[in-house]
Structure 1
Amino acid sequence: MTDDEVLVFPASFAQRSMWLENEINPGRPTYHVLAALRLRGRLDTGALRRALNTVVDRHEALRTVFDLDEDGPVQIIGPASELDVPVTDVARGDLEAAVTAEVTKPFDLYRGPLVRMRLLRTAPEEHVAVLVMHHIVTDGVSSALFVAELTACYGAYLRGEDPGLPPLEIQYADFTMWQHENLRGEKLSGLTRRWQRRLDGAPPLRLFTDRPYPAEPTFAGDTHTFTVPAPLVSRLDALARQERATAFMVFLAAFDVLLSRYSGQQDITVASPMAGRTRPELAGLIGFFVNPLLLRTDVSGEPTARELIGRVRNTCAEAFDDQEFPFESALELLRVQRRSTAGTPQVQAMLVLQNMPVPELRTPDLVIEPLRPDSKAASYELALDLEPDDETGYRAFLEYSSELFDAATVTEMAAEFVTILEGIAADPDAPVSTKPVDRQPMPWSEEPAQPPAEVPYRAPQTPIELELHEIFCELLGLERIGVDDDFLDLGGDSLSLLQLRNRVREEYGVEFPVRELFGRVDIDGLARRVLERLLAQDENGRSPQSSPNEEHP
């Protein structure tokens, strides 16, 4: 592309889901991907800045911003703009707070850039490089690729050489177009049918929390770190081989048992990310490819460990075969069958098993040490991340919602998880107990919705009702809608609700916060709200103020 050329493409399915999440809860740090490196030695900040901009210029995903058109979110790929690498002096005791401040600083998806780097200098020759990207343009594998390319470019520029990175065969937008061409028609219908069957009747996970669910979650979180010892890992690996399973399947079986004990439920659904790089040319590309799968396991009947691993193996095998099904579509299947309001979390727990080798990072005059700072945010109520370690077996990071759980409870959960693994390894033919721990469940934030009662048809009458009727019919593909018919009950989803908000803004010049639409939305109620805002606009002589998070070009 030329220096001033701008390209527009549809957002990928993963990007569309992330864009919707950001519209619902703008600026959440749980959408930020962090890479932090401790740098000891003589640092050339000019070479580092040049290396950063080389990587950003090389990958179109890192030069992308987002907007919404009539068909949904779109990627807008622009020319590279020079990124700076500011340096901030920080006392060692303030380092964690400085990293958290950098991670939690919000991105603007409409304006960009969606990548930034800052150096935190703790001594003349000691820095922490904090690289933060919005998840909509990257994922875990991409973050590792970014750091590897950044290090290679930095070393080359210090030597006065060209980095010599291999040319990219395609860009992320090419993958997006292939994805949209591939996932449609009968293939998408078949995937939808199979996932609908797998998820039919899957209940939400209602964990025994220490506090009630907040009405307005802040997504504050913390992380408990522990280890799965190497001798135990060796025995579990041997068992996995015996059962024609993988280490991930054994860990998932144990995690399901843990969740069952801390919920009293025996139908457990856990999200787990797949790399999403199903084609070889995607291996070296930075972008948002990861696609979580919903893995549902029946732990009832006190199965033996072997039997439970077999159930998990079958669940995973079926899910892996259909791993192209977009995560957002699976969540929408759950939302519809549970009759949840749009924006309600449908999955409460995640399991991640890291299997990507850690690249060796070397540059002249620098010792580079990857760090894992805590972002103090939680995407899920519980998320277990397991990293292989040659010395200790697995390093485990149990991220949790600090709004729901005390640190002591999570420490107890971690110890219980290791105990479950030890029991599985010691006697795989013994029944695995899912007896609930001695805790009282807290009130659930949302009662299951009842099927909607039939509403007598009432035709639109006022000018605003007639105009909204036309918009409703266009977005939902219907010819007749009563003023009391609910938008979501008629087949609307999160994306079409956002399209409705934008159409209302275009037609009437009034703004609705996204969350205000994530309840019951019908023509009658929306017409009243539009009229109220128009009257307020007339009284004030200007448009009603909207939240800064709702503003965009």
Structure 2
Amino acid sequence: MTAIRTPHSVSSFGQQRLWALAQAEGSNAAYNEQLDYLIEGDLDHVLLARALDIVVARHETLRTRFVTVEGEARQDIGPPGSGFALRREDLSGRPDSGELLVARQREECETPFDLGAGPLARGQLLTLAPDRHALLLTLHHSILDGLSVGLLLTEVSTVYAALLRGEPDPLPPLPAQFADHAARQHAWVEGEEAASQAAYWRQQLADAPALLALPADRPRPLLQDHAGGRVPVRVSRALAEKLESAARAQDATLFTAVLTGWHILLSLLSGEADTVVGIPVAGRHRPEDERLIGFFANSLAVRADLSGDPTGTEALRRVRSVLRGALDHQELPFERVVNAVNPKRSLSHSPLFQTMFSWGITFRGWLRLPGARVEALDIPHAPAKFDLTLILHRENGGVVGHLDYARALFDHATVERFVRYFTRVLEQLALHPEREITAYALLDAEERADLLAEGRGRVTSGPVVGPVERFAEQVRVRPDEPALVCDGTRLTYAELDRRANRLA
């Protein structure tokens, strides 16, 4: 199905969601996707800029902005000659070029896109020395997803290499464009299969907790704050192999085992046996989709029931079962799942789940420029789309990645502690799968000793604040978070306050 081109093409459901978030929250940089590289060696600035222009001309989505038509976000696709918005700056000879590079990275991270004005892709090419450069590419998530990153880097590399040889653009014509996918998606959701998948998700997520309340350092703000931080995660090759072996014994994959460990940790931290974690899937269901840059990815809400104090093995089986069910019903757009389930909405957190787990490949070596060595730069100021986002991939037999977090909720030291706990959960899941998960030890001996010593700390004088006043303060700052969980009953601070007032 090829979409009939109109001045304003229909947007995908994912694009409509990001547009709606931008209208509700105002301009923010939460959905900026950064690709930053250090380039050492020979670089032809003109040909690199031309290669970027050619890729932009090739993919309509890279020339897209959004307009409102009858209350609905539509794609406004610019002409093929729009080009890539690349800004060049010569910092060579500056003693502070390293500091300026970090400042430019922060600028790209924190500068929001105007979805209505565009462009939604931009870059900076910084000359740090005659043979040393930095390429900073920033794109809005509404026009690309994880697999699109690989396509973008591969095509820029291919075109640049051809131009260096004096050859024309070697890429074959595309059989379709992202607007075709969006049109097909809107037609599909009106069919019987979409209705069947909606019924599945309504049943699967019925009465799921609206909010997973993790032990935070600060109360949740009324409006979700996307300022983020990042903590590295590294699982040794030995542990990854043991975990993979334990997973295979239950007809599961390493991905499923790590997802199970993440569910177990969230359950132990929150005290909740019912946890929901988001996972991304590619959302590319037709062969022609594989060659397109665009926001195809869909999010699945994977709900784990860890009630009854299961063993690690039983927890793995339960997660394996619900994961397979989710993957069998992955075509329904997340936005339609939210509408079908109709959870309680709040501007303070995302619906259905507040933690994400992404497992995939890394694109660190995908930009290849002949005559130069290209190294991916770390992103020091990643925005937080969720409370916690765990992003992992296989590397040299082990598992590496990072845990992104919302700075409005957590201190860096707290998330570093979460990462240590996560590793210990994986160790116990791999080595002692027969053990009940509530017996999993998160603290090591040194941490337990420190905690006990802190509890015996010196007494200081100060204003006396009684339990009634403390409870009233919690009702004010965190009314929708759980205050009491007992025998399957869960009351928020606001609900408990109302019951107490009725008794009084």
What TM-score does the superposition give when structure 1 sets the normalisation length? 0.76
SS in 2 for 1:86: strand
Matched, 1:230 2:237: yes
Displacement of 1:78: 2.1
Matched, 1:113 2:119: yes
| Equivalent in the alignment of 2:480 | 447
Q: Structure 1: how far apart are the matches of 2:141 and 2:368? A: 26
Out of 188, 193, 206, which is 2:194 matched to?
Answer: 188
Out of 261, 268, 278, which is 2:285 matched to?
Answer: 278
| Equivalent in the alignment of 1:481 | none
Q: Structure 2 vs 1, CA of residues 325 and 84 (structure 1 numbering), >3 Å: closer, same or farther?
A: closer
Structure 1 window deviating more from structure 2 (234-243 vs 410-419): it is 234-243
Give CA-to-partner distance per residue, 1:324-380, whole Å, 9 cap, x none.
11112223445x343x35775222100011146765443222111122313342111
Structure 1 window deviating more from structure 2 (313-322 vs 108-117): it is 108-117
Matched, 1:94 2:100: yes
8 Å Cα contact 2:364-2:376 kept in structure 1 = no
| Equivalent in the alignment of 2:408 | 403
Q: Structure 1: how far apart are the matches of 2:234 and 2:381? A: 20
| Equivalent in the alignment of 2:431 | 426
Displacement of 1:248: 1.5
8 Å Cα contact 1:29-1:375 kept in structure 2 = no
8 Å Cα contact 2:365-2:374 kept in structure 1 = no
Give CA-to-partner distance per residue, 1:31-68, whole Å, 9 cap, x none.
11111111111211100110010000000111111112
8 Å Cα contact 2:222-2:347 kept in structure 1 = no
In structure 1, runs of 5+ residues without a counterpart are 450-553
8 Å Cα contact 1:386-1:397 kept in structure 2 = yes
Displacement of 1:7: 3.6
| Equivalent in the alignment of 1:548 | none
Tell me the amino acid that sits aligned with residue 274 of structure 1: V
Q: Structure 1: how far apart are the matches of 2:183 and 2:403? A: 36
| Equivalent in the alignment of 1:176 | 182
SS in 2 for 1:29: coil
| Equivalent in the alignment of 1:496 | none
State percent identity of aligned pairs: 34
Q: Structure 1: how far apart are the matches of 2:270 and 2:67? A: 40
Q: Structure 2 vs 1, CA of residues 341 and 234 (structure 1 numbering), >3 Å: closer, same or farther?
A: closer
Q: Structure 2 vs 1, CA of residues 337 and 36 (structure 1 numbering), >3 Å: closer, same or farther?
A: closer
Matched, 1:39 2:72: no
Cα RMSD for the two superposed structures: 2.4
8 Å Cα contact 1:270-1:296 kept in structure 2 = yes
Q: Structure 2 vs 1, CA of residues 199 and 434 (structure 1 numbering), >3 Å: closer, same or farther?
A: farther
8 Å Cα contact 1:66-1:109 kept in structure 2 = yes
| Equivalent in the alignment of 1:318 | 325
Q: How does 1:95-244 map to 2 (within 5 A)?
A: 95-203=101-209, 204-244=211-251
Tell me the amino acid that sits aligned with residue 37 of structure 1: Y
Q: How does 1:435-474 map to 2 (within 5 A)?
A: 445-447=478-480
Give CA-to-partner distance per residue, 1:70-125, whole Å, 9 cap, x none.
26211111203133422232611332222010222121211211111111232221
Displacement of 1:436: 10
SS in 2 for 1:30: coil
8 Å Cα contact 1:257-1:434 kept in structure 2 = no
| Equivalent in the alignment of 2:492 | none
SS in 2 for 1:27: coil
Q: Structure 2: how far apart are the matches of 1:49 and 1:355? A: 27
Tell me the amino acid that sits aligned with residue 42 of structure 2: R
SS in 2 for 1:162: coil
SS in 1 for 2:260: helix
Q: Structure 2 vs 1, CA of residues 434 and 446 (structure 1 numbering), >3 Å: closer, same or farther?
A: farther
In structure 2, runs of 5+ residues without a counterpart are 443-450, 456-469, 483-504
Give CA-to-partner distance per residue, 1:503-553, whole Å, 9 cap, x none.
xxxxxxxxxxxxxxxxxxxxxxxxxxxxxxxxxxxxxxxxxxxxxxxxxxx
Give CA-to-partner distance per residue, 1:462-482, whole Å, 9 cap, x none.
xxxxxxxxxxxxxxxxxxxxx
What TM-score does the superposition give when structure 2 sets the normalisation length? 0.83
SS in 2 for 1:345: coil
